[in-house]
Chain A
C-alpha cells in the first residue's frame, strides 16, 4: 500500500482553546443569522410582554391586593421563567441545521466534535439578553423598580443566565433526539411547563399548594432561581437559593453535555 507522504505526524488533539475558538466562530454564525433574520427574535420579544401583561392583570389583584405590588414579585419570577421558554428555540434550530446538512460540513472539517453544539449554546445568549432587556424595559414602563444595588441586580441576571445556559443543553438534547423541528417545540413545552409553573415564579408564597406539589416546587431549580432573583432585585433574605441554583446549573451541564456530544457523534 503506497501511502502518500504528506504530514504523517499524528495531529495534535484539538485542545480546549481550539474548541472554544471554533465554538465562538460558530456562535458568531448564530448572531449573524439573527442579524439577517431579526424575525427569529419575535418570540423572545413578545413572550415577556405577553406574560407580563397576562399574569400581572389576571393574578395581580388576587395575589397581592394590587397589580403594582404584584409586579414587584412577578418580574423577578419572570426573569427565572423566560429563560426556560427562550431556550426551546435552540433545539428547534439545531434540529433544522442537522436536517439541512449544514452540520455535515462542520463534521467533515478538522474541528472539535463538540464545537457546533458549544457554538449554538453560546450564540443563544443573544436570545437570553433580548428577552431580559424586553422584560425589564416593559416592566419598568408598568412601574417595576429595582430596590437593591446594581451589583445584586447583575448577580441576579448572572444566576438566571447560569441556569439558562444549563437548560440550553437540555434543549440541545431534545433537538438531537427529535425527529423533526416541529416536535422539538412540542417536547419543549412538556418539560418547560412543570419546571416554570410548578415553581415559585408566579407566587412567592407556595404554602397553599398541596404537599406533593410543594415537594416538587422545593427541589425545582426554577424555584431556587426565582427566590434568588427576587431577593437580589427587590430585597429580602436570599438564603441558599443562589447556591442551589448554581449547583443545579452545574449538575445539569455535567450530565447533559457529554450525552449531547455523544449523541451528536452517533447521529448519522
Chain B
C-alpha cells in the first residue's frame, strides 16, 4: 500500500488525538497566532506608509528642487528659475499654458487627537495648476480656497488625526489666522497629510518674496528626463535637479523602511519564543503517543509515515495559529489610521494596509515554526528503536 495511505491514517489518528493534549496544542496555536499578528501589524504599517507615499508620486510629473536639497523643506526656487523651467523640453501644456506648478512648503503646528501633543503639519502653497497635477484631487467638504485670501483647505488625513481643522474653524499659526473652507481628498496618499493655501498668500505671510521651494511639471508622453537634465546643465541660471515625482517619494519612503525591518526583528525574536513553546508541545505530543507510534511501527507502518504524521500535526497547529493571527491582524489593524514622522520633519497620516502578500508572509512564518517544531520531535519518534519505545512506556 502506498505511503500516502499509511500517512493519511497516521495523520488522521494524530489529529483525532489532539483533544488529549488540548491545552498544549492551544498554547502552540496561540503562540503562532501572536507572532504572526505582530509581524503583520508591523508589515501592514510599513506597507500603508509606503503606499501613502508611493501613490502620491506620478511617473509623468517632473519634480524640481534645488541641487543638494534632499527635500522640499530646504529647497528654494526663484520665480525667474520657475519661468526658465517652464521652457524645459518635454513639459506638457493645456489651454491655460504650460502645466507647471511652483509650490511652497512650510511647517505649522497641529495638536494630535491621539496624544494631545503638538506635531508638525506641512502647509503647502499651491496654484491652480498644482491642483491639475494631482489626478485624484477632489473637494469632499466645503470649497476650494479663494486665491489671494487667508483661506485654506485641509487634507482628510489631517482632519482625522489633528484637532481644530473642521470645516469653518479658524486656525492660528504664529501671527497668522486662517479659515478652513474645505476638506480635500487625494485618494489616501501623502498629500492628505497637508494643508493647502494660495501660494502667493504664503509667500507674503512667510516673507518668501517671490520664491518657491519646488516645481512640479506635467511631462509629455515622449519626454525624457535626460533632455531636461541637459537643459538645466546648459542653463547657468538654473541650479535645480530633476527627477520624477514617483522617484522623489520613493526615496522619501526609504527612510521609513525601518518599520518593516523593526517588525521583522521583533517577530523573529518572538518567533524564537514561540518555537521553544511549539517544540515543547510537539515533544510532549510524541511522548504522549510513544506507545501508539511504536505499535504502528511494530505492525509494519513505515518510519516515514510516523514522521509525516508528527510533522503534519505540527504544521496543522502552526497553520491554524497563522490563520488565526492573520485574521486578528486583519480585523484589528487593516485600515487603521495612524500618523508618524515622515520626511521634512512633518507628520504623515497613513492607514495600515493588509494585503494578501503580507498575509502569505505571516502564513509562511507560521509554517516555518510548525516545520521546525515538528521536525526534531518527529525525528526522535521514528529514530528510537521500536523495542526501546515499548520499554520507555513500561
Q: Are A and B co-members of a single complex?
A: no
